[in-house]
């Protein structure tokens, strides 16, 4: 079973000033896939807080870490930088597909600075901050996630045989 960690990056939600709707959208998606949500965190748009949350979930062995928020152009949007600081290997295909497919929904998709990568045996993927965009983007990448996790767990002997 794939374990999931959810990190909502939002100054207002971390202070209780705004309800987090994107984190629960990720939870709903994960549970619908039969995945086990291990942890849900809400952190402010602070580089060190985001890095710590990513490291903590990865160190705990969470397979899939999904962030939501902080991927745009606003001065406090630092999720991609914090993610890049903790990943050991980039996995750009996830973010590339999300931008490409999202551009068919909105021209604002090109403003996404989301990144994706690997730390230890965890796949980390930055998602947008809105519940609608979270659901759309997860739909674009969900088919590749199980195989990616199997590869990280060294459970695939021959990738050439996978369709």
Query: What are the pLDDT digits (tens) for 42-85?
Result: 999 999 999 999 999 999 999 999 999 999 999 999 999 999 99
pTM for this structure? 0.95
Angle in degrees, 0-180, between the axes of helices 131-141 and 22-32, rounded to the nearest 10: 30
Q: Is the pLDDT of residue 37 over 80?
A: yes
* pLDDT tens string 76-118: 999 999 999 999 999 999 999 999 999 999 999 999 999 999 9
Domain spans of the chain? 3-157
- Distance set, CA 98 to CA 64, 72, 106, 133, 134 (Å): 16, 14, 12, 10, 10
> Residue 161 above 60 pLDDT?
no
% of the chain surpassing 90 pLDDT: 94
Token pair 């960690």 is found at 5
In this structure, which topology does domain 3-157 adopt according to CATH?
Molybdenum Cofactor Biosythetic Enzyme; Chain A (3.40.980)
């Amino acid at each position: 079973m794939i374990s999931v960690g959810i990190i909502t990056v939002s100054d207002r939600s971390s202070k209780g000033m705004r309800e987090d709707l994107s984190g629960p959208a990720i939870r709903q998606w994960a549970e619908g896939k039969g995945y086990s949500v291990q942890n849900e965190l809400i952190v402010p748009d602070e580089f060190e807080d985001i890095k710590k949350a990513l490291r903590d979930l990865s160190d705990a062995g969470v397979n899939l870490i999904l962030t939501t928020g902080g991927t745009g152009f606003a001065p406090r949007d630092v999720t991609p930088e914090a993610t890049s600081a903790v990943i050991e290997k980039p996995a750009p295909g996830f973010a590339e597909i999300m931008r490409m497919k999202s551009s068919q929904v909105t021209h604002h998709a090109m403003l996404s600075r989301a990144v994706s990568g690997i730390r230890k045996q965890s796949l980390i993927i930055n998602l947008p901050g809105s519940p609608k965009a979270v659901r759309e983007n997860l739909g674009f990448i969900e088919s590749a996630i199980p195989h990616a996790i199997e590869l990280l767990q060294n459970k695939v002997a021959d990738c050439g045989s996978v369709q």
